Amino acid sequence: MSETSPHPTARPVGPVDSSRVPRYAGPATFARLPRLDQVEAADVAVVGVPFDSGVSYRPGARFGGNAIREASRLLRPYNPAQDASPFALAQVADAGDIAVNPFNIDEAVETVQAAADEILDTGARMMTLGGDHTIALPLLRSVARKHGPVALLHFDAHLDTWDTYFGAEYTHGTPFRRAVEEGILDTSALSHVGTRGPLYGKKDLDDDEKMGFGIVTSADVMRRGVDEVTDQLRQRIGDRPLYVSIDIDVLDPAHAPGTGTPEAGGLTSRELLEILRGLSGCHLVSADLVEVAPAYDHAEITSVAASHTAYELTTIMSRQIADSAPAR
């Protein structure tokens, strides 16, 4: 399937002009971008999934997407770190929220997958704002339906490869075990980044290794540095189609207090952003950012970090789309 822009001759519609409309005014779409129904087509669709019925500790991530949108009002159209204007290179639009059943996880998973299929079938890539990490499974199913098994780069304090919680197979701690079992991940290119904290037992690590995951802990990032870690990740990914899944709790609670399962000793927001910027040029087909729970946030610390994280991922996708588009 072609990876070029679905509308290569159209000029992208960009964000609201903040010199004319103050940043605090108007609808809170991501980065003040147009809604999906306001553009001809989207190259990158930013979509929310307000769902947190799969959490095992503090709830509240159902409000994460809108908190990220509010915090993204301060994002600007030029990204100097990647020397790119992502909203001029490709049409990025806010696709609103996928409405899912909060009382039935199985139905919610099916709804997310069906909605993702519909968006990806238009030729767009997805930047999904969660919601809890349960939603990564249906998103990966949809991406694999289009690209085949994908490489996965998973930023998280936790492995999320446990088998069940209270007998439930679909929770925010199990999506990547299910994805491996379903054959939708390329098991030669799986990496966790930022893991730390206590586990239930050493078997957790043994099972994770058997599934094919490599682990870069938060301590590894601190000791080895961002550049060395990023180079290792790029070598593991190669030119495979890549899906990036980010649990905001990969950041230390000092940088992201607004999340459901915080763990001490995490990455700084600077480290996370720099690693992501180092992925520029990788074949990023879609991404998600989950577990922002604004009820536990202070001064929008978590949602600001999340909005910048989504901005870097969107920039990578927009640059790739522009590079692959036919000459106008």
pLDDT per position as a tens digit, 213-238: 999 999 999 999 999 999 999 999 99
| CATH number listed for the domain at residues 30-324 | 3.40.800.10
pLDDT confidence of residue 9: 52
Domain ranges for the chain: 30-324
The helix/strand/coil state of 192 is strand
Q: Which two tokens stand for residue 206?
A: 């043994």
**Cβ distance 184 to 141 under 8 Å?**
yes
Which residue intervals of 85-217 are DSSP H helices? 86-89, 105-120, 136-147, 175-181, 202-211
pLDDT under 50 in the chain at which residues? Answer: 1-2, 328
pLDDT confidence of residue 1: 37
Q: Which two tokens stand for residue 70?
A: 């509010």
**Cβ distance 72 to 30 under 8 Å?**
yes
Among 137, 161, 170, residue whose Cα is nearest residue 55: 170
Among 188, 180, 194, residue whose Cα is nearest residue 226: 194
**Cβ distance 173 to 133 under 8 Å?**
yes
pLDDT confidence of residue 327: 56
Distance CA 92, CA 95 (A): 9
pLDDT confidence of residue 3: 52
Distance CA 241, CA 247 (A): 20
Distance CA 121, CA 311 (A): 23
Q: Classify burial at 210, counting beta carbons within 10 Å of its beta carbon; exposed 0-12, middle 13-18, buried 19 or more.
A: exposed
Count the Cβ atoms, other than its own, within 10 Å of residue 23. Answer: 14
The helix/strand/coil state of 158 is coil
Q: pTM value?
A: 0.96
Phi (first) and psi of residue 70, to 5 degrees: -60, -45
Up-side HSE of residue 96: CA atoms within 13 Å toward CB? 8
Q: How far is residue 223 from each of residues 49, 65, 217, 227, 252, measured CA to CA in Å?
A: 35, 33, 10, 11, 16
Paired residues of 290 in beta bridges:
247
Q: Classify burial at 252, counting beta carbons within 10 Å of its beta carbon; exposed 0-12, middle 13-18, buried 19 or more.
A: buried
Among 206, 209, 205, residue whose Cα is nearest residue 197: 205
Provide the residue type at 5 as one letter: S
Q: Which two tokens stand for residue 185?
A: 């991940």
Q: Which residue is it, tokens 């901005």?
A: 311
Up-side HSE of residue 146: CA atoms within 13 Å toward CB? 26
Q: What single string gives the DSSP state of each residue in 288-306?
A: EEE-B-GGG-STTHHHHHH
pLDDT confidence of residue 184: 98
Among 327, 231, 253, 321, residue whose Cα is nearest residue 283: 321
Among 304, 312, 305, residue whose Cα is nearest residue 73: 304
